[in-house]
Amino acid sequence: MKYRLVIFILMLFAVSSCQKPQPPEFKYIENVVVGSGEDNKLKLSADAVLYNPNNKDLKLKEISLLVSVGDTDLGKVDKEYDLDIPSEDEFMVPITIEFLPEKINNQLLNLAFGFLGGKSSVEVHYLGFVKVKAHGITFKVPVDYKSKVNIKL
């Protein structure tokens, strides 16, 4: 009888000490740069910053984001990963898309008129998710973020 009681207490302790991993938190997007890409395309690159609140490392599995300026979709980031994410720390996920300049002609026209009014930035919208894995559990972390990107002519 004592043997069963000891096993029961050990099992109860083991189950109660296990915590379900928490999903990482999306923080912000930084280091946004627009420059020249290949084949007369423009290249937008940035870093999505997330925070892992767990005391265990996670694995980054996938990123899927639609990037748009105003009402114009510039492109989609769809990339699979197998990267270690440090515990209780922020981590960066690189984002890169290439798009034809024609996709933002209307936005450039609005920007040109904006220069007359003292504006020199466009709003970039990132919408989608980042997928991570912890202890066999997969999390989709939603991303819905807008940022102003300053344009220097």
For the chain, which residues make up each domain, given as ranges?
A: 21-150
Beta strands, E only, 18-136? 25-36, 42-52, 58-69, 72-85, 89-99, 121-134
- Write the pLDDT tens digit of every residue in 45-81: 889 898 999 888 889 899 999 988 878 888 899 999 8
- Return the pLDDT at 115: 47
Report, as an integer, the average pLDDT of 120-131: 84
- The CATH fold assigned to 21-150 is Immunoglobulin-like (2.60.40)
CB 96 within 8 A of CB 65: no
Kindly report the pTM of this predicted structure: 0.71
- Return the pLDDT at 95: 87
Report, as an integer, the average pLDDT of 121-145: 86
- Return the pLDDT at 24: 84
With b for 16 or more beta-carbon neighbours within 10 A and e for fewer, the 36-61 pattern comes to: ebeeeebebebebbbebebeeebebb
CB 62 within 8 A of CB 132: no
Distance CA(106)–CA(145), nearest Å, equals: 22
pLDDT interval class at 136 (50, 70, 90): confident
Share of the chain above pLDDT 90, in %: 15
- Asked which of 8-12, 32-36, 66-70, 135-139 is least confident by mean pLDDT, the reply is 8-12
